[in-house]
Amino acid sequence: LLQLVDRNFVNAYCFQMPPEIFWHGTQCMDEFMELGNEIPDQELDVILRSQKPNQCCVLIYTSGTTGKPKGAMLSHDNITWTSAHASRAGDMQPAEIQQETIVSYLPLSHIAAQIYDLWTGIKWGELVYFAEPDALKGGLLDVLKEARPTSHMGVPRVWEKIMEKIKDVSSQSGFLKKRMLSWAMSVSLERNLNCSNSELKPFRMRLAEALVLAKIRNALGFSRCQKHFSGAAPLPSEVTQFFLGLNIPLYQAYGMSETTGPHCMSGPYVHRRGSCGKAVSGCKVKLSNKDTDGNGEICFWGRTVFMGYLNMEDKTREAFDEDGWLHSGDLGKIDRDGFVYVTGRIKEIIITAGGENVPPIPIEDAVKKELPLISNAMLVGEQKKFLSMLLTLKCAIDLETSEPTDALTQEARDFCQKVGSQASKVSEIVRMRDQAVFGAIQDGIDRVNACAAANVQRIQKWAVLEKDFSISGGEFGPTMKLKRQAVAEKYKEEIDSFYRN
């Protein structure tokens, strides 16, 4: 579709024609293309001339993770400029140079999928495979293997799930295969981190590629993939390291619905570990209200910035300062070379009863890194005397309903056996308060606490929940962002129990 339909026809027909003309039933591709012959060129010309760059093109509703969703109005100029320039920052190629192939599987109502799957595809003539709506329930890998994309974008939770799947398969493999994978990943990680200048390094890397790594990428559908992107939320360092071990560098993009998606981009030629890249050419980024550590609120300026919120003038005024900069609500740093690092979200900062500000994400990531059986960790303690944490365990997913089951993943079971527990279900650990597992969790949290910069950042209490977080459970949004407020409301009793006495 994106290769065949003329851009002007799409703009005119899809956005200006009366809905009764267009939406009259499911049609095959040939029937859809024939519709273009039913409208005189003169009528199309009138419609095209009536369009203005500063008119609203689409509405994108924010995820609602920090409050009520708002309708962000994106103009025609926002869409066309971003699809042209942000995609080039990510090294997406025009069709006449290279036929880009991508897989669309995230909700198209959100900006990440819409700008990457639709508008960029139209701009550069990409071949787009549209996955079934239940792709995230387990069918995504099948689509990737069929499509063999040249570029792929995933939210952090998707990359985490792929990582967990590989670990799960590896743990069920024989001793030799495990050792081969471990060796190959260590070689790739060493090469990607530039830790060694050994003359044997190129040969070892070619050998690791031929024997192990290329086969894994092929099994994932990434045999042709040259660009792997992550966006919509911060990417845990553990995930970055793991995929570097597979010789899959993950390039981060950063932006908002209000910036038409990516305002900062990494790519094959512009990247730095831990950073989400630099501002796209023609755009600007700055920090407001910097603290002594160099952290400040990230602010945006440029043609990616939206028109405002639909019917919410007060919220629109709040989003901009007097100089026209859009305030993101995110905390970050910018290094001397212009690389941007997102360190947290202002609304997610926990302010304790003593007035100390604690960013939760670094502590949560540290806990998950120390404890391989932990699926999700959420720090709590707003206006409390100390910090506590809600934990969930890695469990199998029901492929029919996408609901977390009671069965632990193989990686989680291996962890349990390693610490002296025979548990194979979440309920066995939680309801029976498995002493071996609970002791191991406490040990891991103690190690995280030992690295805390201050006492206020130590986790004093924790609880393991009986069910993992999910979209259907209300803990994740459609792009698998953690909805902290929803979690706090759903598990209010567990949180209150931390502070009762």
Task: Identify the top-confidence range among 32-41, 288-297, 354-363, 389-398.
Answer: 389-398
pLDDT in the model for residue 200:
56
As a whole number, the mean pLDDT across the chain is 84
| Residue type for position 397 | I
pLDDT tens digits along 306-345: 999 999 988 899 899 888 999 988 888 999 999 999 887 7
> CA neighbours within 13 Å on the CB side: how many for 369?
16
pLDDT tens digits along 249-277: 999 999 988 999 889 998 888 888 889 88
pLDDT in the model for residue 2:
32
Contact 423, 429 (CB under 8 A): yes
The CA-to-CA distance between both ends of the chain, in Å, stands at 62
**pLDDT score of 377 more than 80:** yes
pLDDT in the model for residue 196:
52
| Residue type for position 49 | R
Give the model's confidence band at 399: pLDDT under 50 very low, under 70 low, under 90 confident, else very high.
Answer: low
The C-alpha R_g of the chain, in whole angstroms, comes to 24
Is residue 21 exposed (0-12), middle (13-18) or buried (19+ Cβ within 10 Å)?
exposed
* Residues forming beta bridges with residue 391, ordered by sequence position: 377, 464
pLDDT tens digits along 60-110: 888 665 567 789 999 999 999 998 887 777 777 777 777 889 999 888 888
**pLDDT score of 12 more than 50:** no
Mean pLDDT of 184-199: 76
Contact 296, 290 (CB under 8 A): yes
DSSP state string for 438-500: HHHHHHHHHHHHHT-SSGGGSEEEEEE-SS---TTTTSB-TT--B-HHHHHHHTHHHHHHHT-
Task: Identify the top-confidence range among 167-176, 261-270, 345-354, 388-397.
Answer: 388-397
C-alpha–C-alpha distance, residues 445 and 439, integer Å: 10
**pLDDT score of 21 more than 50:** no
Q: Which helix (H) or strand (E) holds 264?
A: strand 261-265
Contact 156, 235 (CB under 8 A): yes
pLDDT in the model for residue 10:
40
Is residue 130 exposed (0-12), middle (13-18) or buried (19+ Cβ within 10 Å)?
middle
Contact 326, 316 (CB under 8 A): no
pLDDT in the model for residue 5:
36
Mean pLDDT of 116-130: 88
pLDDT in the model for residue 493:
92
Percentage of the chain lying above the pLDDT 90 cut: 33
Domains and CATH numbers, the chain: 350-498 (3.30.300.30)
pLDDT tens digits along 403-461: 889 999 888 999 999 999 999 999 999 988 889 999 999 999 999 999 888 888 999 99
pLDDT in the model for residue 193:
82
